[in-house]
Amino acid sequence: MKLSIVSGLKESKNNQEKILNKFSSLCDFLKPLNYDGIELSLLEPEKIEVLRLNEIKESYQLEIPALGTGGTYIRFGYSLGHHEEFMRKKAIERIEKYIEFARETKSKVIIGLIRGRYNFESSAKKEKLNIISSLKECCRLAENNDVILLFEPINQFEIDSYNTISESISLLEEIGSDHLKLLVDSFHTYLEEDPLYIWEYMQNKAHYVAHLHLADDNRRAPGTGHFDFKSFLNIFKNSGYNGFASIEAIMKPSFEEVAKESSEFLKMIM
């Protein structure tokens, strides 16, 4: 299992030199801490000179395992389930930009917050159908570019659809695309799943998973709360999972401290 951590590059505000210097500094800091990659949370990936970015990551022998897309919903309000067709089309257009970037960086693209929240002018049933329809179009784009999409179950306090792993797996089976896989996040698992049976259930469903997010039950660095990371990670380790586990936590007291503490803790328990 490989280790990464989430970071942004502020590509919407910075020029190319600042973007690439930021990425280079991240690589320089994380490589000695035994990180294998950097998951990028981006807003406008098309503003990044991908060839130069690839040169940097390859020089450090690091990967960009996945691209976060949540900023598209948070900043612009575009979502796959939006009650307005225009907003759904804009969300799909943005996903296409991520897919094009992912094709060049050999990354996966996360479908999380970008599916949106239900609007009082619509209905849960209608917006769920919108998500399915939009996601099918995103899968078509992903298939054409040979890029994997990662569908993330997110807790009910942040999003209104597909909060649990079982709901999300049912969706994957309905869509039926080899380019749509599951992302499992320890924090959302803690909030949404029944602790009496989730471990056994995940053992049987681990083959759906192509990426992991790690944060403790307080959403801070792994090891700062009470989540059973050893049991959680052993499920995937024992299933032969060889993908990434990515730290996606509140970066306090600092990104650097979270990166160091997480690496040390995970090395100790694995």
pLDDT at 270: 83
Q: What angle do CA 119, 121, 127 make, to 5 degrees?
A: 50
| Strand-strand pairing, 180-185 and 108-111 | unpaired
Domains of the chain: 2-269 (3.20.20.150)
pLDDT at 196: 86
Q: What string of pLDDT tens digits covers the 270 residues of the chain?
A: 999 999 999 999 999 999 999 999 999 999 999 999 999 999 999 999 999 999 999 999 999 999 999 999 999 999 999 999 999 999 999 999 999 999 999 999 999 999 999 887 778 889 899 999 999 999 999 999 999 999 999 999 999 999 999 999 999 999 999 999 999 999 999 999 998 889 999 999 999 999 999 999 999 999 999 999 999 999 999 999 999 999 999 999 999 999 999 999 999 988
- Measure the CA–CA gap between 261 and 122, rounded to whole angstroms: 44
Query: Interhelix angle for 50-59 vs 85-105, to 10°?
Result: 40
User: Strand ranges (DSSP E) for the chain?
Assistant: 2-7, 37-41, 66-68, 108-111, 149-151, 180-185, 209-214, 244-247
pLDDT at 226: 95
pLDDT at 119: 81
- In one-letter notation, the amino acid at residue 33 is L
pLDDT at 146: 98
pTM above 0.85, yes or no: yes
CB 22 within 8 A of CB 14: yes
Burial of 177 (0-12, 13-18, 19+ CB in 10 A): middle
- Measure the CA–CA gap between 185 and 165, rounded to whole angstroms: 10
- In one-letter notation, the amino acid at residue 241 is Y
